[in-house]
Amino acid sequence: MRKERALFVVLLAITCLFVLVGYNNQTKIIIAPQEMISVAHRGASAYAPENTRAAFQKGVDMQADYLECDVHLSIDDELIVMHDDKVDRTTDGKGYIRNMTLAELKTLDAGKQFGQAFSGEEIMTLQELIEEFYDEVGLVIEVKNPTNYPGIEEKVVQVLEQYDDLSRIIIQSFDVESMKKIHTLLPDVQIAILMRPTDSFMTSKKIEEYSAFASYINFNVSFTNKRMVDLVHKHGSKVLVWSKKDRRLIWKAQKYGVDGIISDFSERPEELHLAQE
């Protein structure tokens, strides 16, 4: 009788826990305070292989406001979603994206390096990503090393021009000239400039120059401060921050008054595992 009572108490406690937590795949992980934009960095890449359909879907399931991805050009001018310029780290292949065709890239497994459960995940194109998630969530598209890919700006614009509403699309890069070019080609899309550590103390004049065409000026949270965030806001732009394994990300973001956080979507602020852009 005592054992039965103890078992009943345990079962009741587990049931209550599920009710309180809201045990379902749609539960929102609070990665950013409610007033901030939450951006799933390379998808929810703490949970699934980065820049894959599985990671992007997980970001949607966790109710991110935006999914962040990176793009390169293949040798046959396809926009490939991957962070590195080589496939070695995240797939079972080797070589530079710019030396491979889309057909060759599609034969690679982009999931099993993360875990056997994700074996068979394909590399995605930007076209595929937008077609699949356009109606569900915002997208932050980072153009990687555009000087390595002549014409990549025009390719990105060609994909986006197929869509009437670009209000939830942000294009970003560390390359200011590339972002100016996209702004000229497609003024309706929001532009973000990614700042390097050496840009942490920009002048008000430089911020004003960037804000003339960029809706966002984004910093690694370790290399910014409230003065910079206030200056960006003063000139009418917004700030997203990211970090590299900095457990103080949310605290700093709140302190500085930024507009949003780019993260891998770990469950708890104290367990954030964030990757460098």
pLDDT above 80 (res 197)? yes
Q: Determine the pLDDT at residue 243.
A: 83
Share of the chain above pLDDT 90, in %: 74
Q: Determine the pLDDT at residue 21.
A: 36
Q: Identify which of 4-13, 69-78, 198-207 has the greatest average pLDDT.
A: 69-78
Q: Which domains does the chain have, with CATH numbers?
A: 28-271 (3.20.20.190)
Structure confidence at residue 206 as a pLDDT band (50, 70, 90)? very high
Q: Give the predicted TM-score (pTM) of the model.
A: 0.84
Contacts 24+ apart (CB under 8 A), 145-152: 145/72, 145/85, 145/175, 146/173, 146/175, 146/178, 147/175, 147/178, 148/72, 148/85, 148/98, 149/72, 149/73, 149/98, 151/73, 151/77, 152/71, 152/72, 152/73, 152/79, 152/178
Per-residue pLDDT, averaged over 166-192, amounts to 98
Share of the chain above pLDDT 70, in %: 82
Q: Tell me the C-alpha distance between 13 and 35, whole Å.
A: 33
Q: Determine the pLDDT at residue 265.
A: 75
Active-site residues: which are they? 41, 83
Contact 218, 172 (CB under 8 A): yes
pLDDT digits (tens, 9 = 90+) for 223-255: 889 999 999 999 999 999 998 766 778 888 889
Q: Determine the pLDDT at residue 125.
A: 98
Q: Determine the pLDDT at residue 15.
A: 38
Contact 26, 102 (CB under 8 A): no
The mean predicted confidence, pLDDT, of the chain is 86
Q: Tell me the C-alpha distance between 194 and 173, whole Å.
A: 6
Q: What residue type is assigned to position 62 of the chain? A: M
Residue closest to 59 by CA, chosen among 74, 76, 70, 46: 46
pLDDT above 50 (res 26)? no
Contact 141, 170 (CB under 8 A): yes
pLDDT digits (tens, 9 = 90+) for 32-88: 566 799 999 999 999 999 999 999 999 999 999 999 999 999 999 999 999 999 999
Contact 99, 75 (CB under 8 A): yes
